[in-house]
Amino acid sequence: MKHVNLGGSGEPHGLEADQVVSAIERACESDLRTALRLVARYSAYWWSHGLQDEAAAAAERVLSMLGRTVPVGLDEEYLLAVIHGAASAEQEQVELAQQIVLTATGPFQYSVTVLLWSLVFGPFEPAEVVDEVLERNESGDAWTRAAVELCRGYPGLTTPGPPGEAAQALRTALGRFRMLEDRWGMFLALTALRQVVDEPLDVTTEALEQAEHLCLTEETALLLCERADLYRRLGKLEDAHEDYSRALSIGEHADLPETVAAARIGLGRALRGSGNLPAARAHLSAVLTIPELPDAHFEALHELAALNASEASA
């Protein structure tokens, strides 16, 4: 079982991460097998650090050179490259990757493969196929076993079981990742668990803490908006205002227009709830100036109409 330390020890950081991309570029010119192995080796690092775009760029470069040829003995490495570059991979490459999965008779060699395959291709596969792949990999190392439980509980991936079974699988995965001190695994388990529990505030808070520790900027901002929504529904408007404001700051700094819109709409709702109608109007009106977000514009206009109604009845 080829396992990459997902906690970060021994992984590339800063300029070293750039050197990995450079090494893959050089290998593409002289040794495609090495290039493909590098893509597979750093799969977990890229995803656990929110670098999916970098993974996709590297994989697309290698796949463009390989075309529809799977190097002998590197089936799983090819599969991982297609997983990273799925958005732009040729249909024939995707079909080859699917065949690699369907014809395999044992567990994957790389610990991370079962998780990435499940997250990227699993939603488009029949639930029984996902079930079979997970069963095939449940005898892997400790990290793989935790990942299998995560996928078993992930909403919509596997055959639905009795009520509460998904939440129990996710709690099992969370416990196993905690024992391994693997923050990325914990983050994934928590973000899935918050979707299936009745009271998600504590789970969302812990997921947010992990996202911040992992420096996952976009995920941090989204979780701040989600927690703020929960606070607002509980009537904790000051806490909601603080989270929305933090999300807005992150969104503006990182150029995340959808996050900015969500944070401003949330602030508009929280401020209307606390009686500060002028400030609420300012945030909602600002959403309408963000281009190419029709859904956000519709939501902001709906909130502005409710605000106008509040003013008219005052």
The CATH number of whichever domain residue 249 belongs to comes to: 1.25.40.10
Nearest partner of 48 among 119, 98, 101, judged by Cα: 119
Nearest CA among 259, 265, 260, 251 for reference residue 299: 265
Q: Residue 123 and residue 155: Cα distance in Å, rounded?
A: 10
Q: Which amino acid is at 272?
A: R
Mean pLDDT of 229-255: 98
Note the helical H segments in 49-159.
52-66, 75-84, 91-103, 113-120, 127-137, 142-153
Task: Work out the mean pLDDT of the chain and round it to a whole number.
Answer: 92
Return the pLDDT at 163. 81
- Identify the pLDDT of residue 18: 72
For residue 165, being part of any structural domain is answered with: no
56 is a domain residue: yes
- Among the ranges given (2-6, 120-124, 242-246, 283-287), the one the predictor scored with the smallest mean pLDDT: 2-6
Instruction: Mark which of 68, 87, 103 sits at the end of a domain.
Output: 103
Residue 71 has pLDDT above 90, yes or no: yes
CB 46 within 8 A of CB 81: no
Does pLDDT of 208 surpass 90? Answer: yes
How high is the pLDDT of residue 78?
97
Residue 66, in any domain of the structure:
yes
Domain assignment present for residue 95? The answer is: yes
Q: Which of 77, 75, 79, 35 is nearest to 58 (CA)?
A: 35
Q: What pLDDT is stored for residue 11 in this prediction? A: 52
At residue 3, the pLDDT reads 46
Confidence of residue 231 (pLDDT cuts 50, 70, 90): very high
Q: How many domains does the chain have?
A: 2
| Residue where one domain finishes, among candidates 44, 70, 103 | 103
Domain, as residue range, for 312: 216-314
CB 239 within 8 A of CB 220: no
| Domain end residue (candidates: 103, 137, 152) | 103
Q: What's the pLDDT tens digit per position in 129-172?
A: 999 999 999 998 999 999 999 999 999 899 888 889 999 999 99
Q: Is residue 118 part of a domain?
A: no
Q: Own/partner pairs for 206-210, CB < 8 Å, 24+ apart?
A: 210/183, 210/186
Please indicate, yes or no, if residue 83 is contained in any of the structural domains. Answer: yes
- Residue 125: DSSP 8-state: S
Asked if the structure places residue 179 within a domain, the reply is no
Confidence bin at 9 (pLDDT 50/70/90):
very low
